[in-house]
Structure 1
Amino acid sequence: MEYRHIANSDLKVSALSLGTATFGGGNDFYRAWGETDLAQARRLVDIALDAGVNMFDTADAYSKGLSEEILGQAIQGRRDRVVISSKGGLRMGTAPDDVGATRKHLVEACDASLRRLGVETIDLYHLHGFDMLTPLEETLSALDELVRAGKVRHVGCSNYSGWHLMKALALAGEHKWPRYVCHQVYYSLLARDFEWELMPLALDQQVSTVVWSPLSAGLLSGKVGRGQAAPEGSRVASLGARAMFIPQEQFFDLVDLLRSLAEAYARPVSHIALNWLLRRPTVASLVIGARNEAQLLENLTASDFKLNAQDVARLDEASAREPAYPYWHQRSVYKERNPAPV
């Protein structure tokens, strides 16, 4: 397993990390992801640790805390071998303060996550989304309190836009509060919007990237393609293909290329899609989920090889789409002063 640093922190994490949104299946939405119980979770954690995975990603919102509870029990007795990544901020109840990035909610949410996980410290604590109704100063100072109290080692964010992230970094620097070291984002061959502004920002500000849904909810698993619908019972079949943001014919052509490369490299299709991501700037780790042992074992070796530059370029071209304004202007009319990240 390859290991990479999270920005300038002391966190060194596996290039592939285990996502635990499949743990619990507390409602219809998460049951479409998976219904992993404690016994199954322990087995998946065993397999991941044996393969060198050291980061395990969860969130309080995953099945209303059930994912954290199961993960906490599954890692008992081996806390020193794992990096725990969790998230807070999404709605957890019906009361007005059961959501958001206010001091009250974040402190209470973090304490609840610690109890469910059965640990004293969360290694990497993310804001699950940006809260425009709470002053950033309040949010960042609350995170500072959590770090000073030893409840959190490092802070990050998820699903921020460029100005959200840059404003937070600037305020953290001004007030000497903990700086976001990581941005957890949606990024794949089917969704490359991250490259337009967030990747250049991450390079400039030295913020590491952790990718969620790197296979776009299974669309890049090789099980969906031209004349081939999503398998019955899969997440795509249950929830729809909300993760696909390119024209259908381009998607089919991309899958055809992935299948061709998979044959050439003697690898599963998913490995080609994951390995492409591991070659991208700023990416520290890919969060892979698994409903069962077979899925996990298949993807755990996706970092054991490297696509050559020519094949990376072919995938770049096959998945490219026209950026939104002002990025198309920067990359065409003024391309000589705005080169693409490398």
Structure 2
Amino acid sequence: MQYRLLGKSGLAVSELCLGTMTFGNTTSESDSIEMINRFMDRGGNFLDTANVYVSGRSEEIVGKAIKDRRSDVVLATKVRFPVAEHVNGGGVSRKHIMDAVEASLKRLQTDYIDVYQVHVWDHATPIEETLRTLDDLVTSGKVRYIGCSNFFAWQLMKSLACSDMNRYVRFISIQPQYSLVSREMDREMFSLCLEENVGIIPWAPLGGGFLTGRYNREEPSSGRLTSKAGESSWKNRATEANFSVLEAVQSAAIELDKTPSQVALNWLLQRQGITSPIFGASTLEQFEDDMGASGWTMPEEVWNRLDEVSALPSEYPNRFIEKFRRPGLTKASN
């Protein structure tokens, strides 16, 4: 397992991050704890959860699993979505963040959270209020670093500017949906993260299971892709463009003697700017398959082939800006 610094920080995280959204739901408590133990025994140190996963049950299982190995773990969780029916039961107001962090700490059986993430932008709360509250949590020691998830590029840049202007702590990472079948952040977010040194920890790196090779062109009767709505619905995933990507992944898997999941994850590991893809597993067999993405290097020609088939179409303003790029000039390194 290799390690990488998370954004503009000295925090070293493993190149794979174990996601825990299934823990306590499709994954039993015993299997969940076994996954965490196997992950850590092989050098993995980065775990991601959220206070809304299985109504807090995921955090409880994670806390139980790591309580005797807490200092070995970089623990990330999130706040934003409603956890109570009253009007202040969600969002990222000062009140809700303060309530939510205490509840998460209790479930996780820990005194601190390594990376506390805003799960999605809150249009109702001024970003200054959110960042001031997160800054206070870092000062108090209950949180070590902060991150965000599911932001537009302008929302991330506004947050970074607010932190800089007020001398608050900065978001060191963003957690977006990103995979070979979901590269929307290439339009603006990716270049922003590279410019501002914000770590990228993608969720759904296998396209909600689409890139595992378990699906064909017939609509499935079981599994995550049977959902009628949401990011991993069959309607969203089963496009001609995505099937072209899947066929390329399957071809590469045969060529490299790997599984499709390992190919799709390894492509991300070699993508400039990606820190740690967040993979999840419902079974120990899926976990072992995904862990096989680490420890090898994809040949450049195969990587380029997958990059080309999955790339977004040429769009304005990117194609216009590219036309007038100054040839032979590069920015001096800092």
- Which residue of 2 is the match for residue 80 of structure 1? 71
Asked if 1:317 is matched to 2:308, the reply is yes
3-state SS of paired residue (2:276):
strand
User: How far is 1:326 from its partner?
Assistant: 3.4
User: How far is 1:262 from its partner?
Assistant: 0.5
- Which residue of 2 is the match for residue 21 of structure 1? 21
- Which residue of 2 is the match for residue 53 of structure 1? 44
Task: Give me the whole-angstrom Cα distance separating, in 1, the residues matched to 2:134 and 2:230.
Answer: 35
CA contact (8 A) 2:280 2:287 kept: yes
| Structure 2: segments with no counterpart, 5+ residues | 330-334
Match of 2:116 among 106, 119, 125: 125
What is the letter of the counterpart of residue 54 of structure 1? N
Task: Give me the whole-angstrom Cα distance separating, in 1, the residues matched to 2:241 and 2:126.
Answer: 42
CA contact (8 A) 1:189 1:273 kept: yes
**Deviation per CA, 1:85-134, whole angstroms, max 9, x where unpaired?**
00001111111111111111111111110011000000001000111211
- Which residue of 2 is the match for residue 40 of structure 1? 31
Task: Give me the whole-angstrom Cα distance separating, in 2, the residues matched to 1:217 and 1:246.
Answer: 8
- Which residue of 2 is the match for residue 69 of structure 1? 60
Q: 1:101 to 1:241 in 2, by over 3 A?
A: closer
- Which residue of 1 is the match for residue 332 of structure 2? none
Asked if 1:205 is matched to 2:196, the reply is yes
User: How far is 1:233 from its partner?
Assistant: 2.9
CA contact (8 A) 1:186 1:213 kept: yes
Q: 1:323 to 1:73 in 2, by over 3 A?
A: farther
Alignment of structure 1 residues 236-255 onto 2, 5 Å: 236-238=225-227, 242-243=231-232, 248-255=239-246
Q: 1:245 to 1:105 in 2, by over 3 A?
A: same
User: How far is 1:159 from its partner?
Assistant: 0.6
Asked if 1:114 is matched to 2:105, the reply is yes
Alignment of structure 1 residues 233-272 onto 2, 5 Å: 233-238=222-227, 242-243=231-232, 248-272=239-263
- Which residue of 2 is the match for residue 5 of structure 1? 5
User: How far is 1:305 from its partner?
Assistant: 1.2
Alignment of structure 1 residues 175-186 onto 2, 5 Å: 175-186=166-177
Match of 1:152 among 131, 143, 148: 143
Q: 1:123 to 1:239 in 2, by over 3 A?
A: farther
CA contact (8 A) 1:65 1:116 kept: yes
Q: 1:126 to 1:242 in 2, by over 3 A?
A: closer
What is the letter of the counterpart of residue 242 of structure 1? E
3-state SS of paired residue (1:111):
helix
What is the letter of the counterpart of residue 160 of structure 1? F
* Runs of 4+ more than 3 Å apart: 227-230, 238-247, 323-331, 333-337
Task: Give me the whole-angstrom Cα distance separating, in 2, the residues matched to 1:118 and 1:153.
Answer: 16
CA contact (8 A) 1:191 1:245 kept: no
CA contact (8 A) 2:6 2:173 kept: yes
Match of 2:93 among 92, 102, 117: 102
User: How far is 1:229 from its partner?
Assistant: 4.4
Q: 1:258 to 1:228 in 2, by over 3 A?
A: farther
**Deviation per CA, 1:175-231, whole angstroms, max 9, x where unpaired?**
111110001110011111111111110111011100111001100001123x4544x
| CA RMSD, Structure 1 to Structure 2 (Å) | 2.0
Q: 1:96 to 1:204 in 2, by over 3 A?
A: same
User: How far is 1:38 from its partner?
Assistant: 2.2
What is the letter of the counterpart of residue 22 of structure 2? T
